[in-house]
Amino acid sequence: MSSPARHQSSAGGQDIPHARTTSTFVGMPKFPAMAKEALANTQQRHNLNHATHTIRAKRAEVVDEVPDWEALRVDGAGTKDRVLADLDTYLLQLEDNLTRAGATVHWARDADEANRIVVDLVRAQQVEEVVKVKSMATQEIELNEALEAAGISAWETDLAELIVQLGHDRPSHILVPAIHRNRSEIREIFRAEMGKVGKPAPDDLTDDPARLADAARLHLREKFLRAKVAVSGTNFAIADTGTLVVLESEGNGRMCLTLPETLISVVGIEKVLPTWDDLGTFMQLLPRSSTGERMNPYTSTWTGVTPGDGPQEVHVVLLDNGRTSVLADEVGRQALRCIRCSACLNVCPVYERAGGHAYGSVYPGPIGAVLTPQLRGTGSKVDQSLPYASSLCGACFDVCPVRIEIPKLLVRLRTQVVDEHRGGAPSAEAVSMKAAAWMFADHRRLEKAQQAVTASSRLFGRRTSLENLPWPATSWSTARNAPAPPRETFRQWWLRTHGEDA
Amino acid sequence: MTRVALFATCFNDTMWPQTPQATVRLLERLGVTVDFPAAQTCCGQMFTNTGYADEAIPLVRSFIDVFGSYDAVVAPSGSCTGSVRDQYADLAARAGDPGLAADVAQMTPRVHELSEYLVDVLGVTDVGAYFPHRVTYHPTCHSLRMLRVGDRPLRLLRAVKGIDLVELPGAEECCGFGGTFAMKNADTSVAMGGDKVRHIRETEAEVVVAGDNSCLAHIGGLLDRQRSGVRSMHLAEVLASTEEEPA
Amino acid sequence: MSTAREEILRRVRAAQGAPPDSTPAELPARPDKERGAVIDEFAEITADYRAVVERCSADDISARVAAALSTYDVRTVVVPPGLDAGWMRDVAAEHVPDDELTAAALDTIDAVVTAAAAAIADTGTIVLDHGADQGRRALTLVPDVHVCVVRESQVYADVPTGVRALRPAVEAGRALTWISGPSATSDIELQRVEGVHGPRTLHVIVAGD
């Protein structure tokens, strides 16, 4: 029997640990169950449909403006692949340049270690709060929960993250975390919750998006002006200069990266780019793929400490947390090219209907369906269900700015899930697949089975379409008819019309 | 004399025989000699896409055995053709069999989806068909994004005499079939299909046409359940239709 | 037990496989654009992102800066230490020098006037490297109006040429701020709202050299 799909390339792969499932997602139901629940939420479906279609159209428009878009995709993918093939060198170069520029570099094997490092750094500043720039890496490790457990308040400052945090909710999209909420829901959250943690929402707050944004501005400004410590992630970490790069829109990022005295950035080890000049490609790929803009309103770059300007104490936490286990799979590692643009979410017909929460992780949509089971392994029910949360329509690959072959990775992960169950008690599905494989192994067996099908056609008389199917096809016939079996298969017809005796 | 092997696909062979029959009639009308190698069974797509790679590998071998000696193979299915052209190399690599990998690399480029075969190999777009109906075309995902058949099916349909071809809104969006996805994630699948069917009905077409009976089974199953009166039909059947022998 | 650094590097080396044998392929060169077209494109696209854009000759800068500030009823304006004093000649508002102002103090100031380090035409972006004529980062962040004077010679056609031109500033350890239109959010129903935390008004004066 052939070898399982994982860790084919590397002898050392077996002792590289996956990430642990963080407490929020432990015991999550499988994708189909979560999706069913989401599908019943008509308001959310409406919000998601509107939002994904809007941003999809914007993206298509600005991508069409770039004549060499395909060349940029190829260049972006190639650059990321070069980084991944030589990651140790680039990480050491990054560390060296960061240190030289006055930053302190920390290394974290997993979420717990990263959280401990950040909590200790915050405690050393003797503060009880931090302001945060939206960051997937800190969500992944559940840093806010760790800070809270240490008595430190972490204030999310991105408008959507603020909505999610105040609503005691979870993000459902990488770029627009409150995509599942509409304006009137947001107004209610602001009115009910802002006053509990700071400046209350104005009494006359309406659901006009401009008024809601203004309420966020007022609420957060007092936090920005007094904050001593900020926590960020990064979009890119430039090895040859030691520069970190954060893209944003609202200015909350600039506030966090500029005003506090101490800045702590949690950086996944796959975020490295070899040279400053590589931004020439990535600063075209990311904004256009992400928000559908030619360029996002604000990008900040900083190289360690700038004397007299901005935070004078700068820390960078380099985070593994399962990334090296993804790297060990020579095909699967292309998921580490991901620049978290979320273009794949916005075109995905499954995400559009099921929403982000169904994916049981901070990474939803097509990239989440591959990245999460790669980072965490396929040991849990939810992680086993994620690779199947796709119709393999391929729209995600077409929009991916770094050409991640998501459909191919999904199939590969499905194979891994099946392989990991081989040898034990076979599931009903495995039994029927085995039986079907046996039948297809020889055309004479197939012909026998076909005789049973055509014989059954007599049971249905002139009906062309059937309403109810027996198990295991019952889930088909809840909303779909099925074709009645034909009286003659194609090969019977062929034999009759084209056979040697015909 | 042009000669081609027909890969009927197991699904068409068993459940939708009218599609490969139409393919044969169409190709013969265009002067092509069609062979149907009787030893063929299944390309293995359902196994591969559900994660049963080990079960798919013997089917790769038998596909090569059955079709390896032909200069051209044609299949009235975008997804089965896509499986052969896009997935066989990975399966051969998994099998760890360099001979099989070499055979796959050598053979799979000669496997064509019907519209590709007509337009690229035979060089025709007007196949002499007659189909006096209001039709809308759904480009299935694997034809569109795996095989990149582009507008070939539409060029063929536009040349059909009597046809009233109307554009399908949101045409490039998946119908929600997705193989075992339709069963494993039935609720999401049906939600996707519901939107597809709504768009089809908005066109007021009598017939929805596609290049894959699997997607059509899903779309047609929803249309039938709604008693919409809209027929679903494979591209081959429309192209085979003539005034003398209407579909 | 090994340190986290050693352990991660060990895992990376075990996982990453063979080093690449190919050198990166060069992106195909884009056709050269005529200078005038580049400046026009910059002005057009910057305005498309709801910045106010105007063009003038070098002699006209001070008049345009003064007019812009009075449009926004600016009473106090913070000035970076190295800004060309001539640009502020006609400004009636009170000049506040950046004398290590706290963020709270900056929050009481209406506007800031700066130069730029570079600009990118096809994305409508101005880039600050926070040199003496632009000031430290907080100056262009906290006040609600930012008037930025870009010289035509500073405008690059596209992102890659702009990025390459900025490399020396980065190597010198400077922080950069790229600004493309005023602060904005699309977090509520994907409807774009200008003005959240950064300056709600961005006024760009493109001046001849």
Going by C-alpha positions, the residue among A446, A383, A164, A140 that lies closest to residue A271 is A140
Interchain contact, A82 vs C20, CB within 8 Å? yes
Residues B235 and B162 in one domain: yes
User: What number is the average pLDDT over the span A19-27?
Assistant: 90
Q: CB neighbours (10 Å) of residue A120?
A: 11
CA–CA distance from B245 to each of A204, B29, B137, C208 (Å)?
72, 12, 22, 75
Going by C-alpha positions, the residue among A84, A97, A14 that lies closest to residue A402 is A84
Residues B70 and B158 in one domain: no
List pLDDT tens digits, range A89-139.
999 999 999 999 999 999 999 999 999 999 999 999 999 999 999 999 999
Among the four given CATH numbers 1.10.10.60, 3.40.50.10420, 3.30.43.10, 3.20.20.10, the one describing domain C35-207 = 3.40.50.10420
How does A314-325 read in b/e, with b if 16+ C-beta sit within 10 Å?
Answer: bbbbbbbbbbbb
pLDDT band at C194 (very low <50, low <70, confident <90, very high): confident
Q: How many domains does chain B have?
A: 2
pLDDT band at A478 (very low <50, low <70, confident <90, very high): confident
Mean of pLDDT over chain A = 93
Q: Tell whether B90 is covered by a domain.
A: yes
pLDDT surpassing 50 at residue C173: yes
pLDDT of residue A2: 38
Residues B76 and B12 in one domain: yes
pLDDT of residue A461: 79
Q: Tell whether B128 is covered by a domain.
A: no
Interchain contact, A213 vs C175, CB within 8 Å? no
Q: Tell whether B171 is covered by a domain.
A: yes
Q: Tell whether B127 is covered by a domain.
A: no
β partners of residue C125: C120
Q: Tell whether B91 is covered by a domain.
A: yes
Residues B15 and B110 in one domain: yes
pLDDT band at C20 (very low <50, low <70, confident <90, very high): low
Going by C-alpha positions, the residue among A307, A133, A313 that lies closest to residue A223 is A133
B226 touches chain A (CB under 8 A): no
- Residue A485 DSSP one-character state: P
A328 touches chain C (CB under 8 A): yes
Residues B163 and B233 in one domain: yes
A216 touches chain C (CB under 8 A): yes
Which long-range contacts (C-beta less than 8 Å, at least 24 apart) are formed by A422-428?
A422/A1, A422/B54, A428/A472
pLDDT of residue C190: 84
Question: What whole-number distance in Å separates Cα of residue A290 and Cα of residue A272?
Answer: 19
Residues of chain A in contact with residue B50, where contact means CB-CB under 8 angstroms, are 414, 418, 429, 433
C209 touches chain A (CB under 8 A): no
CATH of the domain at B197: 3.40.50
Residues B11 and B117 in one domain: yes
pLDDT surpassing 50 at residue A7: no
Preceding amide of A472 cis, omega within 30: yes
User: Sheet holding A229-232: strands in order across?
Assistant: A103-108, A313-319, A262-268, A229-232, A129-132, A153-156
Of B121, B152, B177, the domain-final residue:
B121
pLDDT band at A471 (very low <50, low <70, confident <90, very high): confident
**Rounded to 5 degrees, what are φ and ψ at A263?**
-125, 125
User: Sheet holding B231-234: strands in order across?
Assistant: B164-166, B134-137, B207-210, B231-234
User: What number is the average pLDDT over the span A228-252?
Assistant: 97
Q: Tell whether B152 is covered by a domain.
A: yes
pLDDT band at A13 (very low <50, low <70, confident <90, very high): low
CA–CA distance from B92 to each of A2, B10, B65 (Å)?
11, 21, 14
Segments forming the whole domain that contains residue B169: 134-240
Q: How, if at all, do strands A262-268 and A313-319 pair?
A: parallel
Domain boundaries along the sequence of chain C = 35-207
Task: Give percent above pLDDT 70 in chain A.
Answer: 97
Residues B111 and B172 in one domain: no
Instruction: Indicate yes or no: pTM above 0.75.
Output: yes
Residues B57 and B16 in one domain: yes
Residues B29 and B110 in one domain: yes
pLDDT surpassing 80 at residue B123: yes
Question: What whole-number distance in Å separates Cα of residue A282 and Cα of residue A288?
Answer: 10
pLDDT surpassing 80 at residue A14: no
User: What number is the average pLDDT over the span C18-39?
Assistant: 83
Closest residue of chain C to A321, computed from CA coordinates: C8
List pLDDT tens digits, range A278-306.
999 999 999 999 999 999 999 999 999 99
CB A138 within 8 Å of CB A177: no
Q: Which chains touch B (3 or more CB pairs under 8 A)?
A: A
- Domains of chain A with CATH codes: 27-34+330-421 (1.10.1060.10), 66-321 (3.40.50.10420), 428-498 (no CATH)
Residues B140 and B97 in one domain: no
Q: Tell whether B247 is covered by a domain.
A: no
Of B121, B149, B184, the domain-final residue:
B121
C54 touches chain A (CB under 8 A): no
Question: What whole-number distance in Å separates Cα of residue C195 and Cα of residue C122?
Answer: 22
Residues B8 and B116 in one domain: yes
List pLDDT tens digits, range A352-392.
999 999 999 999 999 999 999 999 999 999 999 999 999 99
3-state SS string for C108-158: CCCEEEEECCEEEHHHCEEEECCCCCCCCHHHHCCCCEEEEEEEHHHEECC
List pLDDT tens digits, range B69-121.
999 999 999 999 999 999 999 999 999 999 999 999 999 999 999 999 999 99
pLDDT of residue A10: 42
Of B66, B91, B121, the domain-final residue:
B121
Residues B88 and B55 in one domain: yes
